[in-house]
Homo-oligomer: A and B are copies of this chain.
Amino acid sequence: MNTLTRRQREFLQREQLFLDAARQILRSDGVAAFTIDRIAGNTEYAKGTVYKHFTCKEDILCALCHESLVHLGEAFSKALTFPGNSRERMMALGTAYLQFTTRFPEEFDILIAVRTNNVRQKASEKRVEAMIAADQGAHDVMRSVIGAAIAAGDLTLPTTTSLDEACFGLWAMAFGLLALAPANDVIDSLELPSIPIIMVNQMNLLLDGYGWRPLSTEFDYQQTFARLLKHMETLQ
């Protein structure tokens, strides 16, 4: 039993069609080719119809971002099927994030772009809120992992640090690494290992800073990472 009329369902389906087309264009031809006319053309609808769904270009960007965040949240949930101790499960989230950004760099570009004020101001309030909610969803998964670690006695946060703050800090570290990494490929003068290795190393250091047991000196997280990559493959 569907409470929506056929027309309403068609409307939602078309919205999805537009978003799929937009994502397709973005993935194959990059941000430069991302125009409303192109979306309309590829879907064989008129430009005006696209604007029946979205207030402006940035609105579409936010909608895509929303979808991406939902996907990321799902990837997080899937990653948690990995069996292991609390810290290994946190690493599973990091690995999922890493895979997401390497697989869909254009989409990560949007996630970065949406951070700037310009986009957020232009997009409709509705979309921005949905986006924030999806962001929250992914955060919640991470929070649950941290919470479980505390409950299990693997982690004791400093009295000055809230769970939210720990979550935010970890997120920011991962985001920073993944956002800066591509640009630093260009800088030849830096002697850097590959992004995945940096990711594992830096996560290890930060989690050691938190005193999240077992510490990297007590446990082989490199091996965990290798197993994680395999585990992810079986999922995808």
By a CB distance below 8 angstroms, the chain B residues around A117 are 30-31, 105, 109, 182
Given contacts A113-B113, A206-B206, whether A177 and B186 have CB atoms under 8 Å apart is no
Q: Is the CB of B113 within 8 A of A116?
A: yes
By a CB distance below 8 angstroms, the chain B residues around A201 are 158, 160-161, 165, 169
In whole angstroms, what is the CA distance A210 to B202 when docked? Answer: 9
Q: Is the CB of B205 within 8 A of A209?
A: yes
Stretch of A41-49, A73-81, A189-197 that contacts chain B:
A189-197
Write 19 A-B pairs (CB below 8 A) sorted by A numbering: A30-B117, A112-B112, A115-B180, A132-B187, A164-B191, A165-B192, A165-B193, A165-B198, A165-B201, A167-B190, A168-B180, A168-B192, A171-B180, A172-B202, A175-B180, A176-B176, A204-B209, A205-B209, A206-B206
Q: Is the CB of A112 within 8 A of B116?
A: yes
* A: number of interface residues (CB 8 Å): 54
A183 within 8 A of B: yes
Q: Is the CB of A179 within 8 A of B182?
A: no
By a CB distance below 8 angstroms, the chain B residues around A136 are 187, 189
Q: Which residue of B lies closest to A188 (CB)?
A: B132
In whole angstroms, what is the CA distance A143 to B171 when docked? Answer: 24
Given contacts A162-B191, A162-B192, A176-B175, whether A202 and B169 have CB atoms under 8 Å apart is yes
A207 within 8 A of B: yes
By a CB distance below 8 angstroms, the chain B residues around A37 are none
A174 within 8 A of B: yes
